[in-house]
Amino acid sequence: MTSLLVTGISELVTNDPVHGPGLGVIPAGAVVVDQGRVEWTGRAGVAPAADEVFDASGRAVIPGFVDSHSHLVFAGDRAAEFAARMSGQRYDGGGIATTVAATRAASDDELAMNVARLLGEMRRQGTTTVEVKSGYGLTVVDEARSLVIASRFTAETTFLGAHVVPEEHAADPVAYVDLVTGPMLEACAPHARWIDAFCERGAFDADQARTVLVAGAAAGLQGRLHANQLGPGPGVGLACELGLAAVDHCTYLDDADVQALRDSGTIATLLPGVEFSTRSPYPDARALIDAGVRVALATDCNPGSCYTSSMPLCIALGVREMGMTPDEALLAATAAGAAALRRDDIGHLRVGARADLVVVDAPSYLHLAYRPGVPLAHALRFHA
Ligand code: NIG
Ligand code: FE
**15-28: pLDDT as tens digits:** 999 999 999 999 99
Q: Of 198, 176, 5, give the one whose Cα is nearest residue 93.
A: 198
- Which residue owns the Cα nearest ligand 1 atom 3? 198
Distance in Å, CA 226 to ligand 2 centroid: 6
Q: Is the pLDDT of residue 335 over 90?
A: yes
Q: Is the pLDDT of residue 383 over 50?
A: no
- Which residue owns the Cα nearest ligand 1 atom 1? 300
Cα 134 to Cα 86: distance, rounded to the nearest angstrom: 27
Distance in Å, CA 71 to ligand 2 centroid: 6
Q: What domains does the chain contain, in order, with CATH numbers?
A: 4-64+348-379 (2.30.40.10), 65-340 (3.20.20.140)
Regarding the beta carbon of 93 and ligand 1, being less than 6 Å apart is answered yes
Instruction: Give the per-residue pLDDT at 339.
Output: 98
Q: Is the pLDDT of residue 351 over 90?
A: yes
Query: In the structure, what pLDDT confidence band is assigned to residue 379 with cuts at 50, 70 and 90?
Result: confident
Regarding the beta carbon of 204 and ligand 1, being less than 6 Å apart is answered no
Cα 84 to Cα 341: distance, rounded to the nearest angstrom: 34
Instruction: Give the per-residue pLDDT at 380.
Output: 82
What is the position in ligand 1's atom list of the atom closest to the CA of 248? 1
Regarding the beta carbon of 302 and ligand 1, being less than 6 Å apart is answered yes
Cβ 311 vs Cβ 131: under 8 Å? no
Average of pLDDT values for 197-202? 97
**For a pocket test of ligand 1, which of 226, 277, 308 has the largest count of ligand atoms closer than 8 A to its C-beta?**
226
> DSSP letter at 227?
E
Residue 269: partners with Cβ closer than 8 Å, 6 or more residues away? 68, 69, 246, 247, 248, 249, 250, 295, 296, 297, 298, 337, 340
What is the position in ligand 1's atom list of the atom closest to the CA of 303? 10
Cβ 128 vs Cβ 65: under 8 Å? yes
Regarding the beta carbon of 226 and ligand 1, being less than 6 Å apart is answered yes
Instruction: Give the per-residue pLDDT at 208.
Output: 98
Regarding the beta carbon of 225 and ligand 1, being less than 6 Å apart is answered no
Regarding the beta carbon of 177 and ligand 1, being less than 6 Å apart is answered no
Cα 297 to Cα 216: distance, rounded to the nearest angstrom: 25
Q: What's the pLDDT tens digit per position in 139-165?
A: 999 999 999 999 999 999 999 999 999
Q: Which ligand is nearest to the CA of 305?
A: 1
> Of all residues in the chain, what percent carry a pLDDT higher than 90?
98
Distance in Å, CA 103 to ligand 1 centroid: 14
Regarding the beta carbon of 197 and ligand 1, being less than 6 Å apart is answered no
Q: Is the pLDDT of residue 367 over 90?
A: yes
Regarding the beta carbon of 99 and ligand 1, being less than 6 Å apart is answered yes
Angstrom distances, CA of residue 42 to CA of 4, 12, 23, 26, 59: 14, 9, 14, 7, 16
Helix (H, G, I), strand (E, B) or coil at 57: strand
Instruction: Give the per-residue pLDDT at 381.
Output: 61
Q: Is the pLDDT of residue 343 over 60?
A: yes
Handedness of CA 356, 61, 299, 245 (dihedral sign): positive
Average of pLDDT values for 37-55? 97
Neighbours of 83 (CB within 10 A): 10
Q: What's the pLDDT tens digit per position in 250-280?
A: 999 999 999 999 999 999 999 999 999 999 9
Cα 55 to Cα 288: distance, rounded to the nearest angstrom: 39
- Which residue owns the Cα nearest ligand 1 atom 11? 305
Q: What's the pLDDT tens digit per position in 77-107?
A: 999 999 999 999 999 999 999 999 999 999 9
Query: What does the DSSP assignment read for 145-201?
Result: HHHHHHHTT-S-EEEEEESS--GGGTT-HHHHHHHIIIIIHHHHGGG-SEEEEEEST
What is the position in ligand 1's atom list of the atom closest to the CA of 306? 12
Handedness of CA 281, 282, 286, 290 (dihedral sign): positive
Regarding the beta carbon of 300 and ligand 1, being less than 6 Å apart is answered yes
What is the position in ligand 1's atom list of the atom closest to the CA of 229? 2
Q: Is the pLDDT of residue 1 over 80?
A: no
Residue-averaged pLDDT of the chain: 97
Distance in Å, CA 112 to ligand 2 centroid: 19
CA atoms in the 13 A half-sphere facing the CB of 352: 3
Cα 10 to Cα 110: distance, rounded to the nearest angstrom: 42
Instruction: Give the per-residue pLDDT at 363.
Output: 98
Give the distance from CA 270 to its chain's centroid. Answer: 9
Q: What's the pLDDT tens digit per position in 238-249?
A: 999 999 999 999
Instruction: Give the per-residue pLDDT at 9.
Output: 98
Distance in Å, CA 201 to ligand 2 centroid: 15
Helix residue spans in the chain (DSSP H): 79-86, 96-105, 108-124, 140-151, 173-179, 185-188, 206-218, 235-241, 255-264, 272-278, 285-290, 311-322, 326-333, 335-340, 367-370
Q: What's the pLDDT tens digit per position in 277-288?
A: 999 999 999 999
Q: Of 272, 278, 270, give the one whose Cα is nearest residue 248.
A: 270
Radius of gyration of the chain (CA): 20
